[in-house]
């Protein structure tokens, strides 16, 4: 999988301690729709890309006694969906790990319904949907157990 970064322990994006895998690119759809530069992750676009073997990432995750979930986010994981699907398949089938996998996306559910359907073969997949909209008040999402920045954003277990 080609990524922009990896954080072994994240405590702010999900209610469980998680490994954060940072996706490699995004179309910056939030900026385009809002008409202003508002992406909190825009600096990641210029970060160096890293080629990481799925097995290496998974083994690193499994060796950490603190983490209980994996988050794919940062830029846009659904823009590299084949890699995400392969990663989840490897985690579930080869490593028999059924821990939560959380995918943060700026897409709306109806924009990626075929990709969501492909993920339904796996247990414990959570998707956070919706673009960032500037000027809205954060709200608590019960599925993630954290605050999300915009009213239109929500998560669901698929």
Q: Where are the domains of the chain?
A: 2-157
pLDDT in tens, 107-152: 999 999 999 999 999 999 999 999 877 788 899 999 999 999 888 9
- Identify the pLDDT of residue 45: 60
Instruction: Write out the two tokens for 158.
Output: 């698929």
pLDDT, tens only, 15-71: 999 999 999 865 555 445 555 564 466 565 666 788 999 999 999 999 999 999 999
- Strand ranges in 11-85 using DSSP code E only, listed in sequence order: 18-22, 50-51, 69-73
Please report where in the chains the tokens 């979930």 appear, as a residue: 69
What is d(CA 142, CA 41) in angstroms, rounded to the nearest whole number? 23
pTM strictly above 0.85: yes
Burial of 47 per CB tally in 10 Å (0-12, 13-18, 19+): middle
């Amino acid at each position: 999988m080609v990524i922009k970064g990896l954080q072994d322990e994240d405590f702010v994006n999900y209610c469980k301690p998680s490994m954060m895998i940072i996706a490699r690119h995004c179309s910056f759809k939030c900026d385009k729709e809002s008409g202003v530069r508002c992406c909190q992750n825009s600096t990641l676009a210029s970060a160096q890309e890293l080629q990481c073997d799925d097995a290496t990432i998974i083994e690193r995750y499994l060796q950490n006694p603190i983490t209980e979930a994996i988050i794919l986010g940062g830029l846009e994981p659904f823009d590299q969906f084949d890699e995400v699907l392969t990663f989840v398949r490897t985690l579930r089938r080869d490593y028999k790990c059924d821990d939560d996998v959380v995918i943060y996306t700026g897409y709306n559910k109806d924009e990626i319904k075929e990709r969501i359907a492909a993920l339904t073969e796996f247990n414990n997949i959570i998707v956070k949907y919706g673009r960032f909209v500037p000027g809205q008040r954060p709200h608590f999402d019960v599925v993630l157990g954290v605050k999300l920045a915009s009213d239109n954003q929500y998560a669901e277990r698929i």
